[in-house]
Amino acid sequence: MSKSILAKLSPSAYRALLLTSTPKERVVPIDATWYMPNNPKNNKDEYLNIERLKNAAFFDLDAISLPNSPYPHMLPTYDIFNDAVKELGLQKNDRLVVYDKSGIFSSPRAAWTFALFGHPTVFLLDNYDYYKQFRYPVDTTPVENFSTPLKASESEAYEPISRSEFEQNYKNQVIEYEELLDLVEKDQLSKDYFVFDARPNDRFTGKAPEPRPGLSSGHVPSALSLPFSKLINPTNKCYKVQFEILKTFKDDFGLDLSNTDFLTGKKGIIVMCGSGVTAVIVKFAIELVLGLDVPIRVYDGSWTEWASRAPKEYIHKDF
């Protein structure tokens, strides 16, 4: 089974990568901007009418998702994803550079989605805001659709990985509600996994409300609070450097992630957040910044699903 290349890319490295773009091995930016429901900004309008990286396509986390789900932007089905990337004009040999206009926020989720569905080469731009600080060019000409304007080659039509390969990726990298509930009910979750919740700490403890009306705040039993902001440099909005992230895990949880011994006796790590977006920031901090090859699963429904479905005794609050 082939494995996707997934890496973090600085703005200057992206500019250099563009020089290697060819019709058969294109460099295609992917605008994956997404905002929280309480944010008045419009990600689609920004892409169509304000600015984007030149030749970018727009990956809509809400639209390219599981249809009719009561939970937001759940992972799409195999067919929905593959139809969507064809609609965006993408080719299998494209080297995708995923970014979002908040810096490091929704782009990790989109980059992970592409890798989960087997796209061969995916880069995460670290990050768009920092890119603009260098006064690198952006495209401000209005566009009419979400596909890349780069001309696709008929001989390079998008060929997805097999369903069985995707299903294996999904099994390895995603955990669903039923399995998580079973682990909690059997008091096995903390024995098998470290669970990191990327929401702000006040929402984790129950002190502050969730941004989605009517949804209780709190946390999954035995989960650990790791707000994604602790992994991001507040000045340039890029990922913090390796030693800073190592220090966060050591200071907050007593975990030494300088080697994989910290997982001794456990099956791996579970990451979650409000709706499965910023959880991947934690996943990538471990994989792309620390360079660890350890089992990490994303709880796709995350807190929105858990707070909606779990028995009340499994919605823990510290207030």
pLDDT above 90 coverage of the chain, percent: 92
Are the C-beta atoms of residues 145 and 29 closer than 8 Å to each other?
Answer: no
Q: What is the pLDDT of residue 50?
A: 98
CB 59 within 8 A of CB 124: no
168-212 pLDDT tens trace: 999 999 999 999 999 999 999 999 999 999 999 999 999 999 998
Per the annotation, the verdict on 238 as an active-site residue is: no
What gap in Å lies between CA 92 and CA 192, rounded to an integer? Answer: 37
How does pLDDT run across 229-246, given as a tens digit for each residue?
A: 999 999 999 999 999 999
223 with 260, same domain? yes
Contacts of 296 (CB under 8 A, 6+ apart): 173, 268, 269, 270, 271, 283, 286, 287
Q: What is the distance between the alpha carbons of residues 303 and 157, in angstroms, rounded to a whole number?
A: 38
Residue 273 lies in a domain: yes
Q: In the structure, what pLDDT confidence band is assigned to residue 2 with cuts at 50, 70 and 90?
A: low
**Could you tell me what percent of the chain has a pLDDT over 70?**
98
155 pLDDT exceeds 70?
no
302-309 vs 177-185: helix crossing angle, rounded to 10 = 60
Q: Are residues 183 and 306 in the same domain?
A: yes
- Give the per-residue pLDDT at 196: 98
Same domain for 149 and 98, yes or no, is yes
Query: The domain that contains 271 carries what CATH number?
Result: 3.40.250.10
Same domain, 161 and 181: no
**103 close to 32: Cβ distance less than 8 angstroms:** no
| Domains of the chain: total | 2
**pLDDT tens-place string over residues 87-120:** 999 999 999 999 999 999 999 999 999 999 999 9
Could you tell me if 66 and 145 lie in one domain? yes
Closest C-alpha to 175, from 315, 310, 271, 273: 271
Given a contact cutoff of 8 angstroms between Cβ atoms, the answer to whether 196 and 223 are in contact is yes
- The pLDDT tens digits of the residues spanning 288-300 come to 999 999 999 999 9
Cα dihedral 308, 313, 314, 318, rounded to 10, equals 100
Task: Name the β-bridge partners of 225.
Answer: 197
CA distance 65 to 106: 14
Residue 89's contacts (CB-CB under 8 Å, 6 or more residues apart) are 57, 147, 148, 150, 152
Distance CA 236, CA 234 (A): 6
Q: Do 288 and 191 share a structural domain?
A: yes
The whole domain housing 19 covers: 5-165
Query: pLDDT tens digits, residue range 261-311?
Result: 999 999 999 999 999 999 999 999 999 999 999 999 999 999 999 999 999
Q: Is the pTM of this model over 0.75?
A: yes
Regarding whether 79 and 55 lie in a shared domain, the answer is: yes
Spot the catalytic one: 30, 273, 288, 296: 273
Kindly tell me if the per-residue pLDDT of 153 is higher than 80.
no
- Residues 295 and 68: beta-carbon distance below 8 Å: no
- Are 148 and 40 found together in one domain? yes
The per-residue pLDDT for 152 is 76
Residue 1, pLDDT > 60, answer: no
User: Are residues 210 and 132 part of one domain?
Assistant: no
- Residue linked to tokens 């941004």: 211
Indicate if 159 and 201 belong to the same structural domain.
Answer: no
For 275, the token pair is: 């709706």
CB distance 1 to 164 below 8 Å = no
Whether residues 189 and 223 fall in one domain: yes
pLDDT confidence band for 154 (50 / 70 / 90): low
Structure tokens at 136: 């690198």
Is the preceding peptide bond at 127 cis, omega within 30 degrees of 0?
A: yes
Given a contact cutoff of 8 angstroms between Cβ atoms, the answer to whether 29 and 40 are in contact is no
What is the per-residue pLDDT for 217? 97
